[in-house]
Structures are given as structure tokens and as C-alpha cells.
Structure 1
């Protein structure tokens, strides 16, 4: 018998309904604009995000500072650009870690049925904790720092991704090509990657996009509570927390950072909802 197996038909490209969704297009455009502005921050501003100028502290928008200055006289626009870079990096790294770990757990639970009970009970225990509370606990245990923050964010989003990936993989496991691959002796790693993952990834990708917003919000929350990156590192949650003491005399400090966090999280949620709706329509 031949040791090759014809791959199942690949999923179609992005559905036309998703491409025509104005909210998805707006969310994607806003995210790209924020990400590009954060990446090319040194080209967009001539100010140093960490250089203080106490004589110019808490100035309102104008006078050479488009969004004003913070409590140390630093340019707010510059701080926001560099803070967005840090927050997006934490969200990307944390979500990637959570998706890799959670996706692997879910796929293995569906593929190796003997491991299903053990892995899913562990996931159920983690899901019983609110993600914010779980992230706060991990950050408090691990201490401040970039690595511990990424780990806390990743472990917080991991259980939901594991549950979704298991459900998606179980539906793929019922297909004939999985049994055919086993019958001709394909190794497990090939079945897991080329057949199971290749056909179970759409719902995993959709949920991961939604989890991205949760990861950004969690990272900002930890920074706001002082459990994230420590000052003077530019990070959106930390910038918002710094402005709490000056809400009545300089509301622009906290307001600008909070609005940027809101825009990022809302954009990821809108994009995830659009992906989910497109997948539901395609399944009909």
C-alpha cells in the first residue's frame, strides 16, 4: 500500500463577507496604524521617552507637545508610542506562548484519548479562576519583569485556547482521512501537524484573536496595579497609573493612555468577532 495520503481539501481563503465587513476593516486598519506607529516611533518623534524636563511638567496639549507632557515633563505622544510598542510586544509574546501551549494541549487531548481526562481536568481547574485574578496571582508570585509578565499573560489565556483547540480537533478526528492516515502507518507528528492542525486551526485562530484583546487588557491592568514593568519603562498601563494623582489638574495623562488601551482592545475584539461570524456563515 502506498505510504502517501491525499491531503483533504484546504480551507478556503478569507471569505468575501469578512473582506467587506466595514467594522473588521476599520479595526484592522486601526491596529495596523497603531502597530506601525509604535514600531517606527523613533522616526515619528524627536523626543526621548525617558528624558525628563521638570520645568515643562503637566503641560496641556500644545506648546510643541501635541498631547502635552506628563508629571516628569516627558512628551506624552512619545511616551504613548513607546508604551504601545511595549504593551503590544507583551500581548503578542504572551498570546503566542499561550496559543502554542494551549493549542498543543488541546490537540494532544483530542488525538491521544488516554491523556484527555488528565489534560482537560487541569484546564478546567485553570478555567475556574478569572483570567484577571489568575494573572494577578502569577505576576505577584513571579515578581515584576518582562519575562514574568509574558509568562503570566500567556498562562492566563492558555486554558481557553486549549478548550477551543480540543473541541475543534475532536470534530476533525471524526473525518475519514485521519483513520486512513493511521491505517497506512503515518507517524503521529505528521497526522498532528499536516492533518489535524491544518484543518482545526480556523476556530483556534479566531479565539486567539479574541484572546489577544484579553492579553493586552491584562498586561495593562498589571502595569496599572504596579505588577508589570516598573517605571520609568514606557508601558500603557503604567502611564495610566502615573496620571491618577493628576486627574483634576492634568487629565490628559491618564485619559490618553486609557483611550489607546481601549482602542487596541476594542479593535482586537471587533476583528475576532468578524472572524467568528465569517466562520459561522461559511459553515452554514
Structure 2
């Protein structure tokens, strides 16, 4: 059976491969932002007499090792993890986009910039992020910086490749001949035409950023307790896997859903771009 296609009033075609993961991401983000309205529990108030209660009445997903409502902790932890992933991806995309466009536009800088990017790419992103986080120490700014620099090299590479194909077009050469300023050529012509593959890859990088942020939290290099964060919640529950598996399982499942949805959405956007190109 072929994919069901749904057209909106503007004539654009939406496929389930785009709508489903996008809907999941929006629902998770909305629940995290509306956490104070969705739960009456305090995410930081401990109640040791209620520790490690299983899912059930009163606590929909049970409680953690400090007696805190797990659903509440997950909602607030999702907010923190999404903020780190989004801010880190935004920072990495801005830096990578600038490097990639400048490398394609100013050819004399291409060799230098790309060799620097190759150095970054020689390290696995998770290992690079772990090293940066360990050097910079715990803190929100340090996490965003580490996550951003980890996703930046791939975005820079994609940006350069997309920009090079645009630089080969006649209108770019014509713009230089008639003396259009570099700022105008870079923004109105180069970026405006090269952004589709960059946007697609950035969506994939967002999934990597979320996974890296959760990994840092799991290893104790993220935000310190009692701050709610998905990776640290999963790490907290690993000591009680045999008596209270719901703590780690719920946090891990939420991380999995976010990363999978982001990757599926990125793949769908990439496939749509390939079809338009053909």
C-alpha cells in the first residue's frame, strides 16, 4: 500500500513519515512546557516514606529513590534536556553554517577552515562532547557549548557542500560581476538557496544533541542533582533496576522516543528533498 498523502489548503503534501514524528516531538515539548499545569507534585520535594513506589494510583509512573513523583520528574527533566539539545543545536548550527558558507564563498579560506573541521571530525562526537564537558565542568552554559561544538563539524561540512553547488550557478557569478556586496550575496542568494539540506541535517543533529546531553547527564557530567534531567534520572534508577525498573525504563524510553522522532523527521525531510531534486 502506498503512503497516504494529505494535502493542506496551500497545496503542500504532508506524509505520515513527517506528520507522525513531528506530532510526537510537539506533544513531548508541549507536555514539558506545560508541566506545572499537568502535575500537582513538586519535582524537588522529597518524601522518603514514598520512595520507589511502583506505578499505580496516586503516582501514575511511581516514585523515584527520593520519593518524588516520577512523572513530574520526567516532565521537568524533558524540559531541561530539550533546552540543552535545542540551544546546543542552535549554537552548533550557527557556527557550522557560518564556517561552511565562508569556506564556499571565500575560496582562499576553504583549505584552512576545512582542515580545522577535519580535526573536529577525527573525534567521535560523543567522545568529543564528554571531553569538553569534563574540561569545562558542570553547568548549563558548559553543556550547551559542549553539545554545540560536537554537532558543529557535520553541519559545517553539509553547509559547505550545499553552498558550493550554489556558487556554481550563473546568478552568483553575475552578482559578483555587478558588484553586489558580499553580505547580500551570502544571505539573500547563497543561504536562501542552500538552506534545505542544511535544515534537514540540522534536524538529524538535534537527535544527536539530545542523545549527547542525556549521555552526559547519565555519566554525571551534566547538570548536578537535584536538577531534573532525563540522563541523570536514568542513571539514578540503574541502582534499583531489579527492585524498581520503572525509574530507568521510563526515562530511557522517553529519550529513545525523542531521538527516534528527530531522526525519523530528518530522514523524511531528506527523502522529500531528494524527490524534489529529481
TM more than 0.5: yes
8 A contact 1:157–1:211 mirrored in 2: yes
More off after superposition, 264-273 vs 176-185: 176-185
Aligned to 1:242: 236
Alpha-carbon distance between aligned partners in 2 of 1:89 and 1:260, rounded to the nearest angstrom? 15
Q: CA deviation at 1:186?
A: 1.0
- Between the two proteins, the alignment pairs up a number of residues equal to 269
Runs of 5+ unmatched residues, structure 2:
1-9
* Cα displacement string for residues 155-201 of structure 1 (whole angstroms, at most 9, x for unaligned residues): 00000000000000000001111111111211101100000000000
From 58, 77, 80, the counterpart of 2:52: 58
* Cα displacement string for residues 245-273 of structure 1 (whole angstroms, at most 9, x for unaligned residues): 00000000000000000000000000000
From 103, 113, 121, the counterpart of 2:97: 103
Aligned to 1:227: 221
More off after superposition, 55-64 vs 160-169: 55-64
Runs of 5+ unmatched residues, structure 1:
1-12
Aligned to 2:255: 261
Q: How do 1:108-119 and structure 2 match up within 5 A? A: 108-119=102-113
Alpha-carbon distance between aligned partners in 2 of 1:267 and 1:40, rounded to the nearest angstrom? 20
Aligned to 1:252: 246
**Pairwise CA RMSD:** 1.0
Q: How do 1:82-101 and structure 2 match up within 5 A? A: 82-101=76-95
Aligned to 1:210: 204
Aligned to 1:178: 172
Q: Does 1:273 align with 2:267?
A: yes
Q: TM-score, with normalisation over the residues of structure 1?
A: 0.93
Q: CA deviation at 1:15?
A: 5.7
Alpha-carbon distance between aligned partners in 2 of 1:254 and 1:31, rounded to the nearest angstrom? 21
Q: CA deviation at 1:23?
A: 2.7
- Deviating 4+ runs (over 6 angstroms): none
